[in-house]
A and B are shown apart, each in its own frame.
Chain A
Amino acid sequence: MFTTHSRLDAVKPDPGMDAYWAGLDGGAFGDQLGYGYINPNTNQRLLTLGNSTSVSVSVSVSPKKRKGQSLQVVSDKEKKIKGCSEGESRTTNQNSNSKEASTNTSSKEKSKVSEVQKPDYIHVRARRGQATDSHSLAERVRREKISERMKYLQDLVPGCNKITGKAGMLDEIINYVQSLQKQVEFLSMKLATVNPGLDFNVDNVFTKEIFQTSTSEFPALGCSSVDSAYYQLNSTDQVVSYCGLDMGINSAEMGLRRGISAPISVPETFMDSSCFNQIQPTANWDADLQNLYKMEFEQVTLIPFQSHQFTGSNEGSNMKTET
């Protein structure tokens, strides 16, 4: 048994990443700082023996399955990690870790990588039952980097908490990026209709107000009369037909891609239904408008609901999960 120090600051994280992550919700990562998220670039901690021996043993932090166990280790002894115990428990988990299964070879020896301490090297230790050549080690490092980044993305993209596989995560990311891009398209169209002369001079007046009262605007609008809702709907009539065509064409592509992929999550049903109606996209939108009219007369929620309707239920669910 030997105690080791862990060098959590062995590799310097680049400042760009730090500033970037600081902008994200700090709460998600705050309690994990001691764990290994200090270095988003590399998720290895370097362990050095107290003696003068040149053996450096590093522990690579792998996702999820061993998370609970490693957290315990860190919390028990602040920065001293018992390399042996961790090594043993690591091996027991090895066989159940299906992610590493693909690089299994017939070799079953532990190998120690003895290297000189250099801050820009990534020290990786080959696990038991793993291939020991540099290619697969590099592969593993790469894979772990990717999975770590995926975790950050999970916090960013709404509705991704339940999906753990790489393929599913990528699918969600793609859908989210596509929906955001389409929203930008639609909003620029809307702005083009609302403002025939491209003159937004009034903005200088309330540029600040927009950001301060962006949330408070919506309840204020909720009090306005039904006639105003009617007016707004009329102004967006012409927008609707363009939107319908766009959606029809684009959702055909998505339908094709979807045919290969896994079962679809709820927000995408909107896109899929319009895929089947692509022959008459305007008719579909007209039906939606009819429903909208009815809703408007019943409820008094206005613009936010309207934009939800057109930008897809994706947006609606996004709002729900974010708030």
Chain B
Amino acid sequence: MHTCTKLKSEFIKKWMKGLQICCSSKTNMDFLERKKKIKLCADIALASAKNSTTSWCIALISEAKKHDENKTLVDNLLGPELRIKPQKTNHQMSASHKRARSKKILKKSHHVCQRMKKMGPPKSNIATYITKILVKERTQVLKRLVPGGESMDEISLIKEALDYILSLKVQVDVMRTLANATEVLNQSDSTIFD
């Protein structure tokens, strides 16, 4: 996993940087606020550390930018080249939206035509009918899970999900080791003072 360690170090650097920015702006945050900030910084840091053009990255970042309070944080975290990209990809996303919609319309009309020929679901193939429904339903769920997945067709959705899973794994790994390390540190500090 040599590529992963590079990503990990990038991620953790950006994450720490983001947290420092958060710290400087506010003091005495309560528990939930802190948790939100941590998570937000982690997500943005991961998306920007990836440094790729996968749409979930871009969707994450653009969603974070929607809230004004996060804007400065996001801008500081991202490199200058990534700041310009979200504007371009808004076009991309609207275009893909249109593409997806027009594809859907085409498909629907095609299905309707086919259905006129064959009457109703074939009784012998009820298993396939059920699996079709299941698959449809589950792709809907997956679209909601993966950021930016609403406007994607199935093939690219799976590709995005793959990428997303990999980076989530990295994120969990880093966060867990950090949590454990800080716990150990706290613990050793307390034993020193005892």
| A199-231 contact mask (Cβ, 8 Å, vs B): 1 or 0 | 110111011101100100100010010001001
Please pick, from A142, A166, A191, the residue contacting B178 in the complex, using a CB distance under 8 A: A191
Q: How large is the interface on A (under 10, 10 to 19, 20 to 34, 35 or more residues)?
A: 35 or more
Q: For B186, what are the chain A residues with a Cβ–Cβ distance below 8 Å?
A: 194, 235
The one of A156, A188, A232, A303 that contacts B38, using a Cβ cutoff of 8 Å? A188
- When distances are taken between beta carbons in the complex, the residues of chain B under 8 Å from A195 are 182
Task: Judge whether B142 is part of the interface by a CB distance below 8 angstroms.
Answer: yes
Q: Residue of A at shortest CB range from B161?
A: A173
Name the one of B12, B138, B161, B173 contacting A167, with C-beta atoms under 8 angstroms.
B138
A203: B residues at CB distance < 8 A = 12, 16, 178, 181
Q: Is B72 an interface residue (CB 8 A)?
A: no
B160-185, CB under 8 A of A: which get 1 and which 0? 01111110110111111111111111
B34 in the interface (beta carbon within 8 A): yes
| Distance, CA A185 to CA B42, complexed state (A) | 10
CB-CB under 8 A from A188, the residues of chain B are 35, 38-39, 42, 175
Name which of B142, B163, B183, B184 has the most chain A CB atoms within 10 A of its CB.
B183
- Residues of A1-54 whose CB lies within 8 A of B: 16, 20, 22-23
Which of A23, A101, A184, A224 contacts B168 (CB under 8 A)? A184
Chain B, range 127-141, C-beta contacts under 8 Å to A: 128, 131, 134-135, 137-139, 141
Total chain B interface residues with beta-carbon distance under 8 A: 66
Contact A207 B12 (CB under 8 A): yes
Query: Given A166-B131, A167-B135, A187-B176, is A211 in contact with B5 using a C-beta cutoff of 8 Å?
Result: yes
Residues of A within 8 A of B187 (CB): 224, 228, 231-232
Residue of A150, A192, A199, A262 with most chain B CB atoms under a 10 A cut-off: A192
Interface membership of chain B positions 79-123, coded 1 if the CB is closer than 8 angstroms to chain A and 0 otherwise: 000000000000000000000000000000010000000000000
A170 CB within 8 Å of chain B: yes
Q: Is the CB of B23 within 8 A of A184?
A: no
Q: List 8 A-B contacts (CB under 8 A).
A: A146-B158, A171-B138, A173-B165, A174-B142, A192-B38, A197-B23, A235-B186, A307-B179
- Please name the 6 residue pairs, one residue from A and one from B, whose CB atoms are nearest each other, closest first: A170-B138, A187-B175, A188-B39, A192-B35, A167-B134, A180-B168
